[in-house]
Amino acid sequence: MATKDEFDSLRAEMVEKQLIQRGIHNPRVLDVMRRVPRHEFVTTELRHLAYRDCPLPIGDNQTISQPYIVALMTELVNLSGHERVLEVGTGSGYQAAVLCELAAQVYTLERFPRLAERAGRVLAELGYTNVEVHVGDGSQGLPDMGPYDAILVTAAAPALPGPLRSQLTERGGRMVLPVGDDRRQYLEVVTRMGNRWEIEQTIPVRFVPLVGRYGFMPRTGIVPDDTV
């Protein structure tokens, strides 16, 4: 098993080669990616692969996103520190930890109780106190805690889910999410201005499906590629 120093140097290399060389430039995002221990969010057997340039399985047929995608989504959502953020798709809790470092309060929603429970435990062990992990259908958002300055969806939606759109703050609320079918999606950045939502399409991506009322039906969605 690698030592802390070895993980630190793998993480530094990940930031240099996978993030900076691909154009991630926000210094706050790079700083956080250098610090958050990604290896703590995967099972012991996969720890040695934690800083590789790929997603990894986390159980329940789900994956922790590739480091570059986590950094890109975080950069696109453009946090300054005071925001209330909703994440849909807690998974391992890694993206939530990154958000905790850059925003005031994070709410994260996961449909699988087992993943939510494990992510909550890891986040607590690492000392994050500005995050609440909820179990439920994130395609409906978490209206009781909203509105949110930022929403980040880490599972692919067939279209922009209406409830999430309306849970953005009216003045400049920002959402980053993959939208598309089971094979290919585009990462979209949605900015709310009153009752107008500006949509910008960025790069093609491939995420596990958002399964829920405003997402895909259970079992008709895709199973991610086996990437390990």
Report the catalytic residues.
65
Which member of 29, 38, 39, 63 binds ligand SAH (CB under 6 A)? 63
Residue 212 lies near ligand SAH (rule: CB under 6 A): yes
Residue 171 bridge partners (DSSP): 193
Two tokens at 16?
């240099």
Residue 205 lies near ligand SAH (rule: CB under 6 A): no
What φ, ψ does residue 87 adopt, rounded to 5°?
-110, 135
Q: Which of 100, 190 has the CB closer to ligand SAH?
A: 100
User: What is the separation, in whole angstroms, between the first and last Cα of the chain?
Assistant: 18
Q: Which of 129, 119, 130 is nearest to 154 (CA)?
A: 119
Segment 137-156, which members bind ligand SAH (CB under 6 A)?
137-139, 154-155
Taking the C-alpha atoms of residue 105 and residue 85, their distance in angstroms, rounded to an integer, is: 6
Amino acid at 122: V
Q: How far is the CB of 201 from ligand SAH (least distance, A)?
A: 20
Q: Which of 177, 208 has the CB closer to ligand SAH?
A: 208
Which member of 112, 133, 173, 176 binds ligand SAH (CB under 6 A)? 112
Residue 88 lies near ligand SAH (rule: CB under 6 A): yes
Residue 161 lies near ligand SAH (rule: CB under 6 A): no
Q: How far is the CB of 53 from ligand SAH (least distance, A)?
A: 15
Q: Which of 3, 177 has the CB closer to ligand SAH?
A: 177
Q: Which of 15, 208 has the CB closer to ligand SAH?
A: 208
